[in-house]
């Protein structure tokens, strides 16, 4: 057993209100720079929708992720020798127009224009060429289903649905969407790491954060193609690739990453997961429909004495184990089986998990009348507005069962709390609903508490990062990096000639 | 006199610059080592420039290196006319390929607004030097035939004399102007290399072909820090780097930072 620590995340989609505060927090801290204007290390997309970059899930176009070739995992973009040959021109690299051309406005025209019959306007100006442009796309062009026939209708995940189901999805009054906030998944089997010709991308052993060494990156840009989530970005100004760093300088000081910290809906949870690196390959060699279960199996119980002993042997300290025991991520992913990985079929073992959203039908229209009375509190999950096949395509590699369980459990807990607080539920029905998903009343209460009433300390259980030890390894002078975070001050990120 | 300046003093200065500055830049300003790819901004035209350019110039450059390394064998090979013709035609074709590539790259750089936004003065100098070099090379191949043979008997002895620190100009003194300009321009190339994006050719990631896919880096050895290592360690402490390979879980050291 090779026990390792992974700082892991859960996003509770039922709570996401799509406000984009997380994206702005991240932008302000990390990507408000030349060459990075178009980057959104954290973005929020509307689903169904094509997302950012446009149709990123369509791997027939972008060639991201792994696939099984002769029983061995290989990058979908091809063999490693092909990658070296493609250094001159990467045939599957997304371009700026797949994201959008960043722009600002010529605000000074509002003040400097000569007096005339019309109001002066601030024209959009490209932040690449500094010339006026016609805006054709933005980071969130299909927010809230805007332009659905062009954008949402092209969502690759809709392939899982029948034509009738698809039509219903966009029927007015039945219209359904939810938000999908995305950051780097800090995968266990990361494609960006595997594809980097320079070996500049690596996983930190201590906490599993995936980073790009900016001093070793040579701009071969294979990671951009390889990442199926399109969460590595090429900085066109510095000629280096960049990605989400999970705000590791903040984690070191015990603070949650900026996007977590600023989350208005409090949908985000962060904590440690222990996993068995020895069994990773097993988890990669299963058929698609077993991927979610296989990944869950990798996660180890931090209160198991055997695991604890193996973890201590591996140099994981007591305080970290304690933090892992309180990890909200462990509870959502492993104990309660509520949180699922995004697109497990990419086979990267992503370590960001999502609680799928409940989208019950709360009302119907008949003869133009909006009727909110229902025979039951909610319509049953099977009749939810979003077909389960769609959610399964996103969160469990096409297997409906894990999604059904997650939804039914959430549903049962609502019934349970309704019974407790309002008292108009038949206890037998509630008992039946809980029993169906194998959830005790105590567990239901716990899930309710962590979902609805969590404090900051409940949501973010950050294991101690031991920067003091890390810096000792890098620097003989223990005081040299005092007052700094991360790697401290290094070379300025200036474009080479 | 001018010959001494151009073919003895300048070459040594250029070589010194190329070595000292590239090493210094690699160690002190590693961040500036990048291919500075502009594919993200413009991809379609790049294909028709970058691919022929790189393939053409790599083959031609390899020819020059082989001629420098084993001139006798090249002369022997050229002893049979058919082989000489094949070698010459091959060289010319790849030279033309490089020419097509560099011209497309120059056109692209100055016609695309996005690419102009990431063009520095050094980029202009680099393109100019490369264009001049390829034009002179192709011109030589066309008008001073059998270069593969006379390169081995005139330019190679000169280059070797530079390397043995006994510079000897008598073999290249009578060469035509175009060829002498080609040699001089080659040293200009060497002189600008450390100051330009050309350094990317020094960091071509050949080691990628055999390194394991997954890279895990530990900031030191936690087991050692906590004073308990009942499990035998497989690698030295400073770069204890268990790496998950594509074929199986193996432990292999990788250099940290």
* Region B19-29 average pLDDT: 94
What's residue A110's pLDDT? 94
**pLDDT at A147 > cutoff 60:** yes
Contact criterion met (CB below 8 Å) for B138 and B92: yes
Query: How far is the CA of A360 from the CAs of A175, A215, A337, A412, in angstroms?
Result: 12, 50, 20, 13
Per-residue pLDDT band at B248 (split at 50, 70, 90): very low
Contact check, Cβ <8 Å, A198/B208: yes
User: Encoding tokens for residue A157?
Assistant: 């995940």
Taking residue B74's Cβ as centre, other Cβ atoms within 10 Å add up to 22
Domain shared by B148 and B191, yes or no: yes
Domain shared by B150 and B252, yes or no: no
Burial class (CB in 10 A: 0-12, 13-18, 19+), A177: buried
Rounded CA gap, B138 and A33, in Å? 44
Region for A246 from its dihedrals, namely left if φ exceeds 0, alpha if ψ lies in -120 to 50, beta otherwise: left
**pLDDT at B250 > cutoff 50:** no
Per-residue pLDDT band at A365 (split at 50, 70, 90): low
A10's enclosing H/E stretch is: strand A3-12
Strands A66-69, A340-341: pairing is: unpaired
Q: Smallest CA–CA separation between A100 and chain B, in Å? A: 11
Instruction: Using the structure block, give the residue that is written with the tokens 């791997």.
Output: A59
Rounded CA gap, A488 and A471, in Å? 10
Contact check, Cβ <8 Å, B222/A201: no
Contact criterion met (CB below 8 Å) for A65 and A202: no
**pLDDT at B254 > cutoff 70:** no
Kindly list the residues from chain B whose CB atom is less than 8 angstroms away from the CB atom of residue A69.
none
Rounded CA gap, A230 and A236, in Å? 16
A107-133 pLDDT, tens digit per residue, is 999 999 999 999 999 999 999 999 999
Domain shared by B242 and B174, yes or no: no
**Residue of chain B minimizing CA distance to A309:** B230
State the ipTM, two decimals: 0.91
DSSP string, A250-318: HHHTTPPPHHHHT-TT--EEEEEEEEEGGGHHHHHSS-GGGHHHHHHHHEE-TT-HHHHHHHHHTT--H
Rounded CA gap, A123 and A138, in Å? 16
What percentage of chain A has pLDDT greater than the value 70? Answer: 97
CATH number at residue B187: 1.20.950.20
Q: CB-based contact (8 Å) between B112 and chain A?
A: no
Q: What angle do CA A78, B217, A249 make, to 5 degrees?
A: 110
Residue B115 in 3-state DSSP? helix
* Region A411-436 average pLDDT: 93
**pLDDT at B204 > cutoff 70:** yes
Sequence-ordered strand ranges (E) for A116-207:
124-126, 178-182, 201-204
Taking residue A169's Cβ as centre, other Cβ atoms within 10 Å add up to 23
User: What is the crossing angle of helices B156-163 and B44-69, to 10°?
Assistant: 80
Domain shared by B91 and B132, yes or no: yes
- Find the length of chain B: 257
Q: Smallest CA–CA separation between A445 and chain B, in Å? A: 38
Per-residue pLDDT band at B205 (split at 50, 70, 90): very high
Q: CB-based contact (8 Å) between B173 and chain A?
A: no
* Region A160-189 average pLDDT: 88
* Region B195-219 average pLDDT: 93
**pLDDT at A484 > cutoff 60:** yes
DSSP string, A205-229: TTT--EEE-TTT--S--HHHHH-TT
User: Encoding tokens for residue A40?
Assistant: 């959104």
What's residue B71's pLDDT? 94
Residue B189 in 3-state DSSP? helix
Report the b/e string of A385-407 with b at 16+ CB within 10 A.
Answer: bbbbbbbbbbbbbbbbebbbbbb
| Of A83, A213, A281, Cβ closest to residue B257 | A213
Test the A interface: residue of B37, B54, B237 with most A CBs within 10 Å? B37
Domain shared by B80 and B99, yes or no: yes
Q: Which residues contact B215 (CB under 8 A, 6 or more apart)?
A: A193, A196, A199, A201, A202, A203, B241, B243, B254
* Region A355-366 average pLDDT: 79
How many Å is the Cα radius of gyration of chain B?
23
Rounded CA gap, A413 and A402, in Å? 17
* Region A95-117 average pLDDT: 94
Residue B135 in 3-state DSSP? helix
Kindly list the residues from chain A whose CB atom is less than 8 angstroms away from the CB atom of residue B240.
205
In whole numbers, what is the pLDDT of chain A averaged over residues? Answer: 92
Domain shared by B86 and B167, yes or no: yes
| Of B114, B195, B225, Cβ closest to residue A128 | B114
Strands A178-182, A460-461: pairing is: unpaired
- Range of weakest confidence among A442-456, B154-168, B223-237: B223-237
* Region A163-189 average pLDDT: 88
Rounded CA gap, A353 and A9, in Å? 6
**pLDDT at A361 > cutoff 80:** no
Considering B186, B204, B222, which residue would you say is the last residue of a domain? Answer: B204
User: What is the crossing angle of helices A388-395 and A400-421, to 10°?
Assistant: 110
Rounded CA gap, B240 and B236, in Å? 6
User: What is the crossing angle of helices A400-421 and A441-452, to 10°?
Assistant: 90
Rounded CA gap, B91 and B63, in Å? 8
Helices (H), A19-120: 21-26, 59-62, 80-85, 96-99, 108-112
DSSP state of A70: T
What's residue B228's pLDDT? 52
What's residue A56's pLDDT? 95
Contact criterion met (CB below 8 Å) for B234 and B223: no
Rounded CA gap, B78 and A351, in Å? 61
Kindly list the residues from chain B whose CB atom is less than 8 angstroms away from the CB atom of residue A203.
214-217
Test the B interface: residue of A88, A210, A214 with most B CBs within 10 Å? A88
Q: How far apart are the first and last CA of chain A?
A: 48
Considering B204, B227, B246, which residue would you say is the last residue of a domain? Answer: B204
Contact criterion met (CB below 8 Å) for B215 and B243: yes
Rounded CA gap, B65 and B86, in Å? 18
Domain shared by B165 and B210, yes or no: no
What's residue B239's pLDDT? 35
**pLDDT at A141 > cutoff 80:** yes
Domain shared by B132 and B252, yes or no: no
CA nearest to A148, candidates A56, A48, A54, A58: A48
Q: What are phi and psi of B46, to 5 degrees?
A: -60, -40
What's residue B245's pLDDT? 37
**Residue of chain A minimizing CA distance to B229:** A313
What's residue B238's pLDDT? 35
Spell out the domains of chain A, with CATH numbers in brackets.
1-101+142-477 (3.30.70.20)
Q: How many domains does chain B have?
A: 2
Contact criterion met (CB below 8 Å) for A232 and A192: yes
DSSP state of B170: T
β-partners of residue A371 are: A364
Test the A interface: residue of B113, B123, B208 with most A CBs within 10 Å? B208
Rounded CA gap, B193 and B137, in Å? 19
* Region A189-199 average pLDDT: 96
**Chain-centroid distance, C-alpha A484:** 28
Domain shared by B167 and B244, yes or no: no
Domain shared by B256 and B197, yes or no: no
Structural domain range at position B82 = 2-204
Kindly list the residues from chain A whose CB atom is less than 8 angstroms away from the CB atom of residue B245.
none
What's residue A375's pLDDT? 67
Rounded CA gap, B219 and B239, in Å? 8
Q: Which residues contact A237 (CB under 8 A, 6 or more apart)?
A: A33, A34, A35, A36, A495, B118
CA atoms within 13 A on the CB side of A113: 13
Per-residue pLDDT band at A18 (split at 50, 70, 90): very high
Instruction: Using the structure block, give the residue that is written with the tokens 């906030």.
Output: A181
Contact criterion met (CB below 8 Å) for A412 and A439: yes
User: Encoding tokens for residue A183?
Assistant: 């950051």
**Residue of chain A minimizing CA distance to B250:** A278
A229-243 pLDDT, tens digit per residue, is 999 999 999 999 999
Q: CB-based contact (8 Å) between B89 and chain A?
A: no
**pLDDT at A187 > cutoff 60:** yes
Domain shared by B165 and B56, yes or no: yes
**pLDDT at B257 > cutoff 60:** no
- Range of weakest confidence among A268-272, A313-317, B101-105, B193-197: A313-317
In whole numbers, what is the pLDDT of chain B averaged over residues? Answer: 87
Rounded CA gap, B105 and B45, in Å? 8
B40-96 pLDDT, tens digit per residue, is 999 999 999 999 999 999 999 999 999 999 999 999 999 999 999 999 999 999 999
Contact check, Cβ <8 Å, B220/A470: yes
Test the B interface: residue of A219, A348, A469 with most B CBs within 10 Å? A219
Domain shared by B33 and B140, yes or no: yes
Rounded CA gap, A398 and A384, in Å? 17
């Amino acid at each position: 057993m090779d026990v390792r620590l992974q700082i892991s995340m859960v996003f509770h989609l039922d709570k996401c209100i799509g406000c984009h505060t997380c994206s702005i927090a991240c932008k302000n801290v990390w990507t408000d720079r030349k060459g990075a204007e178009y980057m959104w290390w954290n973005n929020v997309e509307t689903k169904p929708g094509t997302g950012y970059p446009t149709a990123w899930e369509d791997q027939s176009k972008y060639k991201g992720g792994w696939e099984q070739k002769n029983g061995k995992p290989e990058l979908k973009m091809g063999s490693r020798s092909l990658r070296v040959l493609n250094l001159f021109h990467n045939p599957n690299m997304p371009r700026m127009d797949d994201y959008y051309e960043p722009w600002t406005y010529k605000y000074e025209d509002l003040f400097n224009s000569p007096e005339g019959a019309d109001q002066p306007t601030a024209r959009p100006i490209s932040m690449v060429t500094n010339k006026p442009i016609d805006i054709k796309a933005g980071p969130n062009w299909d927010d809230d289903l805007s332009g659905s026939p062009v954008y949402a209708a092209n969502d690759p995940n809709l392939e899982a649905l029948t034509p009738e189901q698809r039509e219903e999805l966009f029927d007015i009054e039945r219209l359904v969407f939810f938000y999908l906030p995305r950051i780097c998944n800090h995968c266990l089997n990361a494609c960006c790491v595997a594809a980097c010709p320079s070996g500049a991308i690596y996983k930190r052993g201590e906490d599993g954060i995936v980073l790009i060494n900016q001093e070793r990156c040579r701009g071969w840009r294979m990671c951009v193609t390889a990442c199926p989530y399109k969460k590595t970005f090429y900085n066109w100004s510095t000629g280096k690739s960049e990605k989400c760093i999970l705000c590791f300088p903040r984690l070191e000081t015990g603070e949650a990453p900026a996007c977590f910290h600023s989350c208005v809906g409090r949908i985000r949870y962060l904590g440690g997961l222990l996993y068995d690196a020895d069994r990773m390959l097993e988890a990669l060699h299963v058929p698609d429909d077993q991927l979610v279960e296989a990944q869950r199996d990798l996660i180890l119980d931090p209160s198991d004495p055997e695991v604890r002993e193996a973890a201590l042997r591996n140099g994981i300290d007591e305080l970290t184990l304690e933090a892992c025991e309180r990890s909200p991520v462990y509870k959502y992913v492993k104990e309660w089986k509520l949180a699922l990985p995004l697109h497990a079929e990419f086979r990267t073992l992503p370590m960001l998990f999502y609680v799928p959203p409940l989208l019950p039908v709360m009302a119907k229209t008949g003869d133009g009348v909006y009727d909110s009375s229902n025979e039951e509190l909610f319509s049953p999950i099977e009749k939810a507005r979003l077909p389960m096949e769609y959610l399964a395509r996103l969160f469990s590699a096409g297997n409906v069962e894990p999604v059904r369980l997650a939804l039914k459990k959430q549903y049962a807990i609502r019934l349970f709390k309704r019974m407790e607080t309002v008292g108009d539920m038949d206890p037998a029905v509630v008992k039946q609903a809980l029993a169906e998903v194998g959830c005790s009343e105590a567990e239901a209460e716990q899930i309710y508490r962590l979902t609805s009433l969590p404090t900051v300390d409940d949501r973010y259980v950050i294991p101690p990062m031991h920067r003091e030890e890390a810096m000792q390894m890098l620097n003989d002078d223990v005081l040299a990096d005092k007052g700094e975070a991360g790697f401290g001050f290094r070379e300025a990120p200036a474009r080479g000639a | 006199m001018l010959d001494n300046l151009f073919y003895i003093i300048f070459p040594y200065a250029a070589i010194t610059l190329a070595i000292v500055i590239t090493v210094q830049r690699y160690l002190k300003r590693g961040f500036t080592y990048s291919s500075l790819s502009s594919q993200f901004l413009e991809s379609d035209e790049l294909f028709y420039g970058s691919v022929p350019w790189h393939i053409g110039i790599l083959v031609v450059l390899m020819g020059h290196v082989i001629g420098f390394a084993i001139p006798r064998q090249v002369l022997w090979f050229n002893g049979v006319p058919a082989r000489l013709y094949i070698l010459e035609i091959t060289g010319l074709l790849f030279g033309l390929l490089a020419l097509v590539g560099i011209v497309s790259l120059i056109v692209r750089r100055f016609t695309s607004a996005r690419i102009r936004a990431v063009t520095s003065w050094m980029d202009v100098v680099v393109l100019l030097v490369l264009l001049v070099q390829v034009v002179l090379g192709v011109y030589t191949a066309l008008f001073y035939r059998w270069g593969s043979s006379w390169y081995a008997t005139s330019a190679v002895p000169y280059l070797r004399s530079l390397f043995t620190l006994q510079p000897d100009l008598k073999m290249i003194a009578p060469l035509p102007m175009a060829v002498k300009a080609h040699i001089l321009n080659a040293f200009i190339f060497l002189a600008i290399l450390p100051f330009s994006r050309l350094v990317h050719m020094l960091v071509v990631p050949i080691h990628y072909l055999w390194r394991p896919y997954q890279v895990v880096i530990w900031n030191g050895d936690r087991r050692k820090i906590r004073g308990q290592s009942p499990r035998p360690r497989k690698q030295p402490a400073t770069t204890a780097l268990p790496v998950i390979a594509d074929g199986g879980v193996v432990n292999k050291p990788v250099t940290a930072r």
